[in-house]
A and B are shown apart, each in its own frame.
Chain A
Amino acid sequence: MSAEMTLEIVTPEGSVFKGVIDGVTIPGLDGEFGVLRGHAPLLGSVGIGTLTIFTGNKKTFYAVNTGYVKVSPTHVMMLVETAERADMIDLKRAELARQRAEEQISRLPRDAAEFEKNRIALMRAIARINTSGRK
């Protein structure tokens, strides 16, 4: 087994991250989980939240949005719809998106199809805001 672990994050817009890492915590669908080198093969769903990459004593944060992760002992492959590094997040836009979603949610009946859409939009906006604050 090689001594290194690599992580690759791919979105429909292209590859976002590719490199050697020490570890990563992933916002899974049922809660966050950490992956270190030598992890057992795993196939999991990724939810909406903050992804943390550990390299040396440095942490890098990404806001990610729904997808899948394939873990093998030396390689982590992530397929997500979007992934934005903390310092690239447009906080103003995220705040606006949050306000918009909150307004819609307070207005719409709970069973409307639009309600669910806005709930997801709100989660996404909150994830981006939270991630952006973590530097």
Chain B
Amino acid sequence: MAALKDIKRKINAVQKTRQITRAMNMVAASKFKAAQAKMINFRPYSESFMQMLNELAGSIGSASHPLMAVREPRKVRALLLTSDRGLCGGFNNNLIKAAERFIAEKRNAGLDVELMTIGRKGKDFFKKRFAIVNARTDVLQKFDMSLAVGVSEDIIPPFLAELYDEFYVIYNEFVNVSVQRPKVLKVLPLAAMERSETRNVEIEYIYEPSAKEILEKLLPMYVHVMLYRAFAETSAGENGARMAAMDNATRNCEDMIENLTLKYNKARQAAITAELMDIVGGTEALAKG
């Protein structure tokens, strides 16, 4: 009988776990929807922005700007985006691994690597083995453009001051709900804009104030736009990954409950059989006596 009780207790425990994972799945699903909407809402902005930048760069020709300065790299800086909380499968692990690969690769090439992080998981992993330039946590759940602008304060001025020579973002590329891919994106120096041959080059714009001044402001904004997109994709990816992880966990719980119930029924049956045998044995003994 003890075995029966044990199994029953286990079933109850697993059922409770299932309840939790199912609730977490639903929370993640609603957060995912919001994060995905954010990502999609940003698209028109980033697309129009890129178009404007291309046209401008196209009409001024190969403008040079301090943010485009290509230097012989000695020191590189990378920003790693992770989530603040776990329970989202291999999401953070994949990002951290990508960062480790990146660091090893750059070090093998004889470069110094500096790391910035956003998200608790990345910070916790690297804080003991690495001097982190600036670690931000609890910012990705709810962010707007001012976060990207704030983060770029740690990126653009030191780059211009030649404190480092290249800047990368390691973030999660959002492919779809179930496919997350860590991606390393080179942000600085900005790639020289190609002069667009096909698009209405013949349009002569009036610039207000001047083309140079506009470009000077657009280029830092390009960094903001890239950061914002990386934030949005990472945050959508995190919730997508958590949704999938919790869905898996719920399904595992169901499998376990099924197995345990089977075991429970078998044990119960065995107990009944044993009891019957006892009774039958007893009556037989009585009849004989």
Contact = CB atoms under 8 A, between A and B. Distances in A.
Contact of A10 (B44, B208, B214): B44
Contacts of B207: 42-44
Interface of B: 38, 41-42, 44-45, 48-49, 52, 55-56, 144-145, 203-209, 211, 213-214, 217-218, 228
Interface residues of A, number: 22
Given A12-B42, A12-B144, A41 B208 contact: no
A43 B42 contact: no
Nearest to B46: A12
A29 B48 contact: no
Contacts, number: 68
A45 B217 contact: yes
A55 interface: no
SS of B interface (majority):
helix
Contact of A41 (B42, B206, B217): B206
A79 B145 CA distance: 13
List 5 tightest A-B contacts by C-beta distance, closest first. A44-B208, A14-B41, A42-B206, A43-B205, A41-B205
B214 A44 contact: yes
Nearest to B206: A42
Nearest to A44: B208
Contacts of B144: 12-13
B145 A81 contact: yes
Contacts of A44: 206-209, 214
